[in-house]
Structure 1
């Protein structure tokens, strides 16, 4: 994996993706609607820092994400999926998977730079995360239906729990 500058959004989305039920929910939405999971999770992170993403800004972020995704992530993902089916891949699968993750990391840093000027109230809010998620789906041209609701609910619940845990005061040691 490449060395990238640290960014709290990357830390958040990798921890979120690792939570129970989140990865399968993200992959189900990705397979069903061809969404950009990195952008979707970035929108949730913005909500944790009180950053709302209005429709116009989301359209710009979605366009940049589509360009990045089509030029880097999707071709590498196709190669990774093909390699996974090859009996003698000579260890290339793991390398290509790492490269795919690096491309997603690069996308996230690009999104963070583009969104740097967006309004940030500094108050994490469940409502802001939900609104950003709704704006994301609208910009991506997706109307989540009944089949999508469990996946969306799992992702949003995990993001809210992470945001609340971060805001909770530190536990005092018991003496």
Structure 2
């Protein structure tokens, strides 16, 4: 489907998001708090390949993600959501085909966002060490820092979702700081 180059961050994202229960957990966090799921999964991937947390580089990465989300992902997502319930005037196969095409474009834009984040992180942090990870504590720290940047104080439901996502990402031995 994609004309983008292969990248381990995308492979990681697909694997984690495809883990049972993770997609609904991510979408619930997105719905409740406006969290950028692509950015969240990128932060986890980064912690899976680097011992050092993103730290002070996170705001720059968030700005890049926010710009990409605002101008590509969110408008396409809005169109997809509108089509899902209001493709009036189109026969069922036409509406379904159009919906799937827009969904594919949304996924492609999220893929592009992830590549942008990976390239920017590489420029800021250098190349990750091959085969040294995962680093569960770093994954948890990156996730906690992201939540802090969003101003999110996780409640019990959020923590359950975040623990599930963190475990699926390979951080099952890590816990979010309280």
Bucket of the pairwise TM-score, normalised by the shorter protein = 0.7 to 0.9
Deviations 1:16-48 (A, max 9, x none): 100011001000000000110000001111111
Task: Indicate how the Cα distance of structure 1 residues 124 and 71 shifts in structure 2: closer, same or farther if over 3 A, else same.
Answer: same
Deviation at 1:123, TM superposition (A): 3.3
1:3 — aligned with what? 3
Deviation at 1:90, TM superposition (A): 5.7
The whole-number CA distance in structure 2 between the counterparts of 1:151 and 1:42 is: 17
2:58 — aligned with what? 58
The whole-number CA distance in structure 2 between the counterparts of 1:10 and 1:82 is: 27
Which sits farther off after the overlay, 96-105 or 80-89? 80-89
Which runs of no fewer than 5 residues in structure 2 stay unpaired? Answer: 173-178
Deviation at 1:142, TM superposition (A): 1.7
1:46–1:52 CA contact under 8 A, matched in 2: no
2:134 — aligned with what? 124
Task: Indicate how the Cα distance of structure 1 residues 51 and 161 shifts in structure 2: closer, same or farther if over 3 A, else same.
Answer: closer
| Aligned equivalent of 1:134, options 136, 144, 147 | 144
1:7–1:109 CA contact under 8 A, matched in 2: yes
- Report the number of matched residues: 163
TM-score normalised per structure 2: 0.85
Deviation at 1:148, TM superposition (A): 0.6
Deviations 1:29-73 (A, max 9, x none): 000001100000011111111253333200000111011000000
Task: Indicate how the Cα distance of structure 1 residues 143 and 96 shifts in structure 2: closer, same or farther if over 3 A, else same.
Answer: same
1:145 — aligned with what? 155
Which runs of no fewer than 5 residues in structure 1 stay unpaired? Answer: 163-175
Matched, 1:111 2:121: no
Which sits farther off after the overlay, 81-90 or 98-107? 81-90
